[in-house]
Amino acid sequence: MRGRGRPWILAACIILGLLVITIGPCAVTGFEQRRAVRDMLQRLESEGKPTSLAEMIPPLVPEEDNAAGLYLQFAELTQPHELISPDPAAPLGLLYNSQPVSYDNMDPGEEAHLVYMGAMIRQDTAAFELMDDATGREHCRFDVNWEEGAGALFPHLAKLRHNARVLSTASMVASHEGDQALALKRLRQGFVLSRHVAAEPTTIAQLVTYAIDAIMLRAAEYVVYQGDLPKPQVKELVGELQRTDRFDLERALRWERALGIWVYDQLREDPAQAAQMIGFQDGDVPRAIIMRLSSNQLSPLIWADEAGYLQALGRLERVIGQPWRESYQSCGSYESRPGTLGGLIEHGYLPSTMLLPLMTRTITKRDNTLARRALLQTALGLRIYKQRHGEYAETLSELEQLNWPPCTDVYSGKPLVYRRKGDRFLLYSIGPDLNDDRGRPIYWLLRAPGASGTYESVGGVDVDAGDIPWIWWDDREAVRAGRRPARP
């Protein structure tokens, strides 16, 4: 009987040995990776940096000081609605009398559009009174369920972009009607809206802030082009433009890190729900692999991925507060990961694939916005100078006569490039390629002289080549029509 039992004992020993060989290293690796993550979290906490979503939630704001509800009411009141046209026989009259009118459809190059939008704005006086109230308040906090982490929703951001488009339209219409003071007021309100959006700690809020700025900067080009500007309203606008403390990518990075820590914790507790939250859908190969990696046997890979994720954000944190000209060499490699993990990330099989924010592009978006703000602030000063002296300044240093705040090109660290050209001027930033292309924007570099086709608009191009110039409105219209603008 004893002899018959020996094969079973031998088989049991073999199985036990295999388990030790396969599970043992995973257990050891899992312990090491878990300890590495906990050490990093303890170091962050000792440095006073948030490691939980609760620490990143914006503080509550008293209702009487909160602009959020007013912005939502404004968005609701300015949705497409019917308009009694000022002149049914005018162009587009039948169109506007037969269907709701949208502020988003306004074309400032069309006289009829400006006329109809003016009538619509006067019809929506109550909405703009709400906007006056909202932008007079210092704080803005929307009702977001921050504790939901990756499941938190931000429907208000789309409404705020809509509000910016309405303000942009209202500014151009006021300028077209000759009320430059009101046009500048609407511009300033758009930049206040941008500041209020930036109060949220998320990366997406920062990106919406830059988008709102781009919408308002386009309207500013139109207003400055139209004629003389009242100095008191210009000063108020410049004061708002100088409030660039809103562009806080370091805070957005802290949010991303706290969110990532929350996601990894959820993956270990409920892999199916967490995988869906970060964007992996049912039936996806990455989702199946995430589910498998989150199991007890292979969870060391999840711990290792979290450790790499924290290390990557730590490297980025050291440079994200710097301008692009000082950080671009370091930003290119912050997401790189060696060996097996690198291969899994490359194929989208690890959580960090979805979690690592594309901060390198966000840095250039931030600096593009800062450069365009500097251009607007300087163009306003040049316009005021011309109103006083009858011609544009020969050099930017002459703006000191106006006590005008100087602007530095965020990309060069030096003054913006400026040359007076007859009754116009050339003003530009060298842009994220850090090369002086003599003021040529991207649409000049995309096509050779005489090439057929439509030139791309500067405002919507997100590339690194070319300079960032101040755009004269008639040049923008020429680009839109497929013509190359005359060089100033």
Tokens of 161: 């972009």
Mean pLDDT value across the chain = 80
Residue 154: which pLDDT band, with cuts at 50, 70 and 90? very high
pLDDT at 390: 94
SS (H, E, C) 449-482: CCCCCCCCCCCCCCCCCCCEECCCHHHHHHHHCC
Q: Give dist(CA 303, CA 265) in Å, integer.
A: 10
Residue 276: which pLDDT band, with cuts at 50, 70 and 90? low
Strands (E), 305-421: 417-421
Q: Is the pLDDT of residue 480 over 80?
A: no
**pLDDT tens-digit map of 163-178:** 999 999 999 999 999 9
**pLDDT tens-digit map of 23-62:** 444 444 567 778 889 999 999 999 999 999 999 999 999 9
Region 355-381: what's the mean pLDDT? 88
Total length of the chain: 488
Q: Give dist(CA 248, CA 268) in Å, integer.
A: 31
pLDDT at 92: 55
Angle between the N-to-C axes of helices 68-77 and 125-134, in degrees from 0 to 180, rounded to the nearest 10? 160
pLDDT at 201: 92
Q: How far is CA 417 from the centre of its chain?
A: 26
Q: H helices within 227-248, ranges in order?
A: 231-241
Q: Give dist(CA 316, CA 325) in Å, integer.
A: 15
Q: Give dist(CA 293, CA 301) in Å, integer.
A: 7
Partnered with residue 428 across adjacent β-strands are 417, 469
Higher pLDDT, 305 or 350: 305
Nearest partner of 368 among 214, 239, 236, judged by Cα: 214
H-run or E-run covering 215? helix 203-226
Query: Of all residues in the chain, what percent carry a pLDDT higher than 90?
Result: 46
Tokens of 252: 């957005």
**pLDDT tens-digit map of 99-118:** 677 887 777 777 778 888 88
CA dihedral 116, 118, 123, 129 (to 10 degrees): 150
The answer to whether residues 97 and 85 touch, using CB atoms and an 8 Å cutoff, is yes
**pLDDT tens-digit map of 424-446:** 999 999 998 888 988 887 655 55
**pLDDT tens-digit map of 202-244:** 999 999 999 999 999 999 999 999 999 999 999 999 999 998 7
Q: Is the pLDDT of residue 97 over 50?
A: yes
Region 263-277: what's the mean pLDDT? 72
**pLDDT tens-digit map of 295-335:** 554 467 778 888 888 988 888 888 888 888 888 777 655 55
Q: Give dist(CA 334, CA 310) in Å, integer.
A: 11
Region 129-145: what's the mean pLDDT? 96
| DSSP structure class, residue 101 | B
Angle between the N-to-C axes of helices 299-317 and 285-293, in degrees from 0 to 180, rounded to the nearest 10? 100
The model scores a pTM over 0.85: no
| CA-to-CA dists, residue 85 to 93, 100, 101, 115, angstroms | 6, 11, 10, 9
Question: Quick one: CA dihedral 313, 315, 317, 319, positive or negative?
Answer: negative
The answer to whether residues 240 and 195 touch, using CB atoms and an 8 Å cutoff, is yes
Q: How far is CA 3 from the centre of its chain?
A: 75
CA dihedral 37, 40, 46, 51 (to 10 degrees): -60
Residue carrying structure tokens 């878990």: 34
The answer to whether residues 145 and 155 touch, using CB atoms and an 8 Å cutoff, is no
Sorted by sequence, the CB contacts under 8 Å of residue 279 that are 6+ apart come out as: 354
Higher pLDDT, 5 or 348: 5
Higher pLDDT, 343 or 156: 156
pLDDT at 16: 53
| DSSP structure class, residue 282 | T
Count CA within 13 A, CB hemisphere, residue 269. Answer: 7
Nearest partner of 423 among 481, 376, 474, 375, judged by Cα: 474
What DSSP line would sit under 399-439, residue for residue? Answer: GGGGTPPP-B-TTTSSBPEEEEETTEEEEEE-TTTT---TT
What DSSP line would sit under 24-35, residue for residue? Answer: HHHHHHHHHHHH
Q: Give dist(CA 423, CA 476) in Å, integer.
A: 18
Amino acid at 22: T
| CA-to-CA dists, residue 325 to 225, 330, 378, angstroms | 31, 10, 21
| DSSP structure class, residue 311 | H
